[in-house]
Chains A and B, each alone.
Chain A
Amino acid sequence: MSLETVLASIFSAAFIATILRTSTPIILPAMGGLISELAGVINIALEGIMLAAAFFGVVVGALGPEWLPGLPGWIYPWLGALAGITVGLGLALIIAFFHLELGADIIMAALAINILAAGGTVFLMFSLTGDKGSTSTLASPALPTITIPLVSYIPFVGQVFNGENLSGYNMITYVAFISVGLVWVFLYRTRLGTHLRAVGENPAAAASVGINVKRVQYIALLISGVLAALGGINLSMGYLTLFQADMTAGRGFIALAAVFLGNKNPVGTLIAALIFGAAGALEAQLGTLNIPSQLITMIPPLVTIAALVIYNLRRQAQMAANARKFQEKLEADQKAV
């Protein structure tokens, strides 16, 4: 493709729509990862939880009419989503139980959950559909998309708010962005959220004022399970409408990276997730140029590392500037005396 065509595609409303779409399955698990990280229980099973939730969402949604016939048709996708969330909760609960009650290393427990999800989903898929790869033979349901009325008539803005085809975004995209606000309010405005941050920073201190550290960490892991599950459901019931073995393709780990790149706060994490989404979208567009694909695939990680470096360099510069200001003031003072 010619560079002009590619640039035209990048500087378009559709590109923004793409970013919103590609970031969704990173934002949600990242919010989950943020909450558990802040509670001092890092959750590196986001990947596995997403995968399992993606699977159960599709399977329950698609086979629901067979298992529970007679319900109104619109209900099955929701049943699927519910099943996905339940499974996310269940897996998070396993991690929490093994870590908090049985003293298992939380990273090991989470790695085990990742393995469990990778194996378990394919095993169940094969048992249920006779297929080891994907559920493309199932009539896979999708959660509704939401179209904002009227804005579609406005050029550019319409595409930003309703996607490049003006057909709206999947509702989970909205959920993702709303979740950032909710997580912020939760962490900084509610008692439980405050306790959660306290527990993560100094569990002994939290315990000493009567906060039940274990309980808070349970809750944090469970919330992270739900949010990661929503990310998984987004992948299989919104972004795509199928389950494919390993379809999360490392997004759970990218989400974890977003938490740290975003300096462990909701807004930073959102920005980091958007950077990942944008880098992915950029990768897709630039891939049409005649450049070796491996170099194109390096774009997102390079962008990330650049962001990391720039952020920290700026912070250092800030500190140096503070010191310089003080020194100048001091010298001025001395002259005055």
Chain B
Amino acid sequence: MPNLIDMRDIIKVYPNGVVANRDVNFSVEKGEIHALVGENGAGKSTLMKILYGLEQPTGGQIFLNGRAVTIHNSHQAINLGIGMVHQNFMLIPSFTVAENVVLGQEPTKRQMIDAEAATRITLQLAQAYGLDVDPAAKVEATPVGMRQRVEILKTLYRGADLLILDEPTAVLTPQETDDLFDAVRRLVGQGKTVIFITHKLVEVKEISDRVTVMRHGEVTGRMQTADVSEEDIARMMVGRDVLFRIEKPPQQRGEAVVRVSGLSYVSATGRPLLRNVSFNVYHGEILGIAGVEGNGQTQLAELLGGLAPPTTGEATIGGQSILGRGPRHVREAGVAHIPEDRLTNGVALEASIADNLVVDRYYRPPFTHRGAMSLRQIRQHAENLMQKFDIRAAGAEATIGSLSGGNMQKVIIAREFSADPALLIAAQPTRGVDIGASEFVRRQLVEARNAGKAVLLISADLAEILTLADRIAVMYKGEIVAVFPNSPDLSEEALGLYMLGLKRQTPPEIESHL
């Protein structure tokens, strides 16, 4: 029996000359879960976009069930039974969840869109696959986790036989990931096939039947997952051994760097998102904020980054209030911020890497000297950081838009780490970053802490928080419901109870750890 998908000798050269795929051969059997892994920029997304008709290959052929096909657009891909969940969200922010789910194939009644049916369908699908969403909510007002679930529902609704999931778990909590995996297994049980891209090798091991590894645009290996260890895969991806452990010397906690007190925030539409949040972050510590996504972490990071003024409350550094006067003020007070939503806030896609790397410092020497900017310095700065942070791109003048997702994240990390901040807010810093780079980012976080900086780590990845944080605060519905010093006995399950609102500490308990 022929393979479900056979991509042969695929070449993809982007108009800017980047060779994203070089003679790639990739095949998927019917009914399997096939993991596709590789470093950032290895060409995974490109290969999948070709399969989904969003990019046209420069060369090569695609066979579906042994029959040669050309896929000019995603309409055709959908008709061929291919569905794709993209790495970057492909949603219409002003539409409701239900509208997004049925977009393109809306149910109709007497030629008019049947909104009720859309809601009903969405709810049914959500229940059937355990993907909880609010059909009536506008997507722009939903948390990232829900957006991811909406994306998956979209492909399910289209009845895809082959699902391409491009890093779907990057934004999910462990519970959500488990739910997703259940759903995926159920799908495969019903005869569907799944291609799964991820940077988390645990997940590869857990869910996939086979795995294909890519590196620099080429396939470097394909094997049965059961036959290989995480370390093997990692070596194939990176070309060297990867250390999964991070050495963390005992904490040298100093004075409080930032004191946050009574922070509350209500959105423009009148929804309260933060309630009376207070905590301190000390010199030489990583404070981890745990919580199911959508419980106020995003707003907390944004407020502390100066992106919005709090409704009430304040944050001080060295006794000076930092909030209410915008990001410039916050940054000058010594705060750096890796934002959660990198495409919205973190980068300007059409600007060059060099320009992106100085957005917080362009006005200071050596970049601006006597009112004029030094392009040489800016370029030099970019080249240094690109080297130091291993950013793969055509050059410092390449636009951010031409980078792979992981490399974009590295640009942001490079900028924020190099700002030499007193407080570093890191919101989902390793989301979508390959294992080599994640390791690098985590090491940097620990180093910053060792150097006496205060780090506020917001992450949906509990394992990450448990590895890195010195203290952990849990947020639920915009409030801090528990604070613990980190210790080896603290388990993901224990934290989970607080994250789901099933347990909460008393105010004095919280206070004692602040």
Instruction: Answer whether A and B are interacting partners.
Output: yes
Is B463 among interface residues, defined by CB-CB distance under 8 A? no
Query: How far apart are B266's CB and chain A's nearest CB, in angstroms?
Result: 4
Q: Check if A327 sits within 8 Å of B311, measured CB to CB.
A: yes
Given A209-B90, A330-B275, 13 other A-B residues pairs in contact with their CB atoms under 8 A: A190-B113, A191-B106, A197-B92, A201-B95, A204-B90, A207-B73, A207-B74, A208-B86, A210-B73, A211-B104, A326-B264, A327-B311, A330-B276
Contact A208-B54, Cβ < 8 Å, known A191-B108, A194-B106, A323-B311: yes
Instruction: Say yes or no: A322-B74 contact (C-beta < 8 A), given A189-B112, A197-B92, A211-B104.
Output: no
Closest to B93 in A: A201
Question: How many of chain A's residues have a CB under 8 angstroms from any CB in B?
Answer: 27
Number of residue pairs A-B, CB distance < 8 angstroms: 92
Determine how close the nearest CB of chain B comes to the CB of A181; give it in whole angstroms. Answer: 14
Q: Which residues of A contact B93 (CB under 8 A)?
A: 201-202
B373 within 8 A of A: no
A202 to chain B, nearest CB (A): 5
Query: Is there contact, CB below 8 Å, between A327 and B90?
Result: no
Q: B124 at the A/B interface (Cβ < 8 Å)?
A: no
Smallest Cβ distance from A178 to chain B, in angstroms?
17
Which interface residue of A185, A189, A205, A209 has the most chain B CB atoms within 10 A? A209
CA distance A211 to B92 in the complex (A): 13
- B48-81 contacts to A, CB under 8 A, are 52, 54, 73-75, 77-79
Q: How far is the CB of A327 from chain B (nearest CB, A)?
A: 6
Q: Tell me if B268 and A210 are in contact (CB < 8 A).
A: no
Give the contacts of B292-307 with A (CB-CB under 8 A).
none
Does A198 sit at the interface, judged by CB under 8 A? yes
Tell me if A209 and B73 are in contact (CB < 8 A). no
Q: Are A211 and B269 in contact (CB under 8 A)?
A: no
B171 at the interface (CB under 8 A from A): no
Counting CB contacts under 8 A, is B6 at the interface? no
Q: Does B487 contact A (CB under 8 A)?
A: no
Q: How far apart are the CA atoms of A327 and B79 in the complex, in Å? A: 52
Task: Say if the beta carbon of A319 comes within 8 Å of chain B.
Answer: yes
Most chain B beta carbons < 10 A, residue from A194, A201, A327: A194
Which one of A191, A207, A209, A323 contacts B266 once the chains associate, using CB atoms below 8 Å?
Answer: A323
Contacts of B104 in A (CB 8 A): 195, 206, 209-211
CB B374 to nearest CB in A, in angstroms, measures 33
9 of the cross-chain contacts (CB-CB < 8 Å) are A191-B113, A205-B90, A205-B103, A210-B75, A210-B104, A322-B269, A323-B311, A326-B266, A326-B311
Q: A208 touching B84 by the CB < 8 A rule?
A: yes
A194 engages B266 (CB within 8 Å): no
**Contacting pair A326 B106 (CB below 8 A):** no
Chain A CB within 8 A of B16 CB: no
Residue pair B74, A208 in contact (C-beta under 8 Å): yes
CA distance A195 to B108 in the complex (A): 14
- A323 and B271 alpha carbons, distance in the complex (Å): 9
Report the 5 A-B pairs with minimum CB-CB distance, sorted nearest first. A209-B104, A210-B75, A326-B266, A205-B90, A322-B270
**Measuring CB to CB, which residues of chain B are less than 8 angstroms from any residue of chain A?**
52, 54, 73-75, 77-79, 84, 86, 89-95, 99, 103-106, 108, 111-113, 154, 158, 264, 266, 268-270, 272, 275-276, 311-312
Bound-state Cα–Cα, A191 to B266, Å: 35
* B95 and A319 contacting across the interface, CB-CB below 8 Å: no
Tell me the nearest residue of chain B to A210, going by C-beta: B75
A127 at the interface (CB under 8 A from B): no
Considering the chains assembled together, what is the distance between the CA atoms of A202 and B278 in angstroms?
Answer: 38
Do A206 and B103 contact each other (CB < 8 Å), given the known contacts A194-B113, A211-B75?
yes
A318–chain B nearest beta-carbon distance, Å: 9
Q: Which residues of B contact A319 (CB under 8 A)?
A: 268
Cα A7 to Cα B67 with chains together (Å): 79
User: What CA separation (Å) do A323 and B269 show in the bound complex?
Assistant: 9
Q: Is the CB of A207 within 8 A of B91?
A: no
The B-contacting residues of A in range 201-229, CB under 8 angstroms, are 201-202, 204-212
Task: Name the B residues within 8 Å of A185 (CB-CB).
Answer: 112
Q: What residues of chain A lie closer than 8 Å to B266, measured between beta carbons?
A: 322-323, 326-327
Residue of B nearest to A334 (CB): B276
Q: Give the chain B neighbours of A208 by CB distance below 8 A.
A: 52, 54, 74, 84, 86, 90
